[in-house]
A and B are shown apart, each in its own frame.
Chain A
Amino acid sequence: MRDLKYKIGLLLILIGLFMPISMFAQDGGISGSLILDSLQKFWNNTSFANFEYKYLVMIFVGLVFIYLGIAKNWEPLLLVPIGFGILVGNVPFTEGYKIGIYEPGSVLSILYSGVISGWYPPLIFLGIGAMTDFSTLIANPKLLLLGAAAQVGIFATFIGAYAIGFTPEQCGAIGIIGGADGPTAIFLSSRLAPELMGAIAVAAYSYMALVPVIQPPVMKLLTNKKERVIRMKPPRQVSRFEKIAFPIIGLLLTTFISPSAMPLLGMLFFGNLLKESGVTERLAETARFALINTITILLGLTVGASTQADRFLTVDSLLIFGLGAASFVVATASGVLFAKIMNLFLKEGNKINPLIGSAGVSAVPDSARVSQEVGLHYDKTNHLLMHAMAPNVAGVIGSAVAAGILLSMLS
């Protein structure tokens, strides 16, 4: 009874609200059709009227990214912004109101300009440089070669993409996914194939997050139990002079060979010098926290938003995803196999555990962590993390050099 009274009361309030509108329409001579027209226009501007099943697919992909980031803790700093960006980019809208990321003058489009013109990636590299400790690499420089070996994945994918039918410029942009380096992939695709950037960026970041899933089976397949338990010598202590000299020598040498990689390597080594100099701690602090966090938020969100269903869901995107997965497998395999080849020439006691070869892909520090975990699985006291960090950071340098080479070859 009380419920009925409540419903009647609600009905009276609704009538009270709508009565004046209908009276105003009759008095002012406004026909009912005008109200209907206005409602129709309003409806046409809603996302429901512009809805297509493609958007639903992309929204689902975005939700999966967010789930993997939060529940599985897979690269949450990348997957959560990208996943949410996918949701933002796939809310259907009526064009012409400067809403979408591809509409000139819209807020999203302005934020996306950092991706399009490629100035976000060098800033990310500045932060990475300010975070990275190259000590293990300086202590055992031969591990740099593992970072070079893993770049085979880039050039193998470059060839594979050409076989499928992409243009040489597109092949270069797709190939860089094998470097497992999101900022480098964005930097190169913005120069060589801007039309494929959304797919390349999402593929690169997704596979970076999937490193713990993709790499272990390849590592186990290519090594035997004896190799997996090889103990490596602990790295020697590195002097301050060596730490300061490394970014300077590294910059001059690599950029003299591949000047196109300067925006990336210049910032990487600059960030590292800020860290190691010991006199610019405030700047290093800003680069490794405030700056890189800001750029990661903007980059992740806009890259995610660039996956607007009508432009993203194409056969090309699916092919790029397939090639990306293959390139990760090839990069991992080439790193592991090269470590085994190096062992043929190294004396007993100086041998390399081939499990750290997979860390040559530059997904820092995930691939190094994978080497550590797989190593611990076979010997609970053999910690490989410190050794794996060397090829891991070498991979960052290697993939930036490879990007520079592809850029100068193709652009």
Chain B
Amino acid sequence: MIILKINSWAELLFGAAIGISVVFIALAILVILFEIVQKIMIGQSKKKQRKAGKKSDEIVDTSANANEIVAISAAIHLFFNETHDKESNVITIKQIEKRYSPWNSKIYGLNNTLHR
């Protein structure tokens, strides 16, 4: 199905103008629809809060400032870091000198095979 048969410059420019207009119209309708949805959603959440017993002056916008979010995240991060004990991060293998004693001899801990 050809909507527009392009044979001349005028038709081409007309087609381009229609094209970009349709893109704008389609997305503008989406904008309007979602602005309406947004208002309804915010209205509903305020209604719920009112029902929960909050006065209208107590109802505040729940969207926090970005800086506040960062500050809270940093505080939580620090708090959880505190719960872990601090380690030196130095890993070494120390040589331990062991003197022989029949009490720590391996040979008595092994299963000896039976000789028949």
Size of the A side of the interface (Cβ < 8 Å), in residues, is: 47
Are B27 and A406 in contact, CB atoms less than 8 angstroms apart? Answer: no
C-alpha spacing A322/B38, complex, angstroms? 43
- A257/B26 contact (C-beta < 8 A), A151-B20, A234-B66, A242-B37 known: yes
Instruction: Tell which of A152, A159, A398 touches B12, judged by Cβ atoms closer than 8 Å.
Output: A159
* B55 nearest CB across to chain A (Å): 22
Size of the B side of the interface (Cβ < 8 Å), in residues, is: 37
A246 partner residues in chain B, CB cutoff 8 A: 34
| A249 at interface by CB-CB < 8 Å | yes
B15 partner residues in chain A, CB cutoff 8 A: 409
- A402/B19 contact (C-beta < 8 A), A397-B27, A411-B2 known: yes
* A141 nearest CB across to chain B (Å): 4
Number of A-B contacts (CB under 8 A): 114
- A142/B31 contact (C-beta < 8 A), A234-B66, A408-B1 known: yes
Are A409 and B3 in contact, CB atoms less than 8 angstroms apart? Answer: yes
| B72 at interface by CB-CB < 8 Å | no
Are B33 and A253 in contact, CB atoms less than 8 angstroms apart? Answer: yes
Q: Which residue of A lies closest to B20 (CB)?
A: A155
C-alpha spacing A241/B25, complex, angstroms? 25
C-alpha spacing A408/B38, complex, angstroms? 33
| Binary A-proximity of B7-18 (CB < 8 A = 1, otherwise 0) | 001001101111
Are B63 and A234 in contact, CB atoms less than 8 angstroms apart? Answer: yes
* A401 nearest CB across to chain B (Å): 5
| Binary A-proximity of B26-43 (CB < 8 A = 1, otherwise 0) | 111111011101100100
* A304 nearest CB across to chain B (Å): 30
Q: Which residue of B lies closest to A236 (CB)?
A: B63
Q: Which of A114-172 contact B (CB under 8 A)?
A: 138-139, 141-142, 144-145, 147-149, 151-152, 154-156, 158-159, 162, 168, 171
B3 partner residues in chain A, CB cutoff 8 A: 408-409
C-alpha spacing A406/B6, complex, angstroms? 12
| A57 at interface by CB-CB < 8 Å | no
C-alpha spacing A257/B33, complex, angstroms? 15
List 13 interface pairs A-B (beta carbons < 8 Å), by A numbering: A138-B34, A141-B38, A148-B27, A151-B23, A159-B12, A233-B63, A237-B62, A401-B26, A402-B23, A405-B19, A405-B23, A408-B3, A411-B2
Chain B residues within 8 Å of A, Cβ to Cβ? 1-4, 6, 9, 12-13, 15-20, 22-31, 33-35, 37-38, 41, 61-66, 69
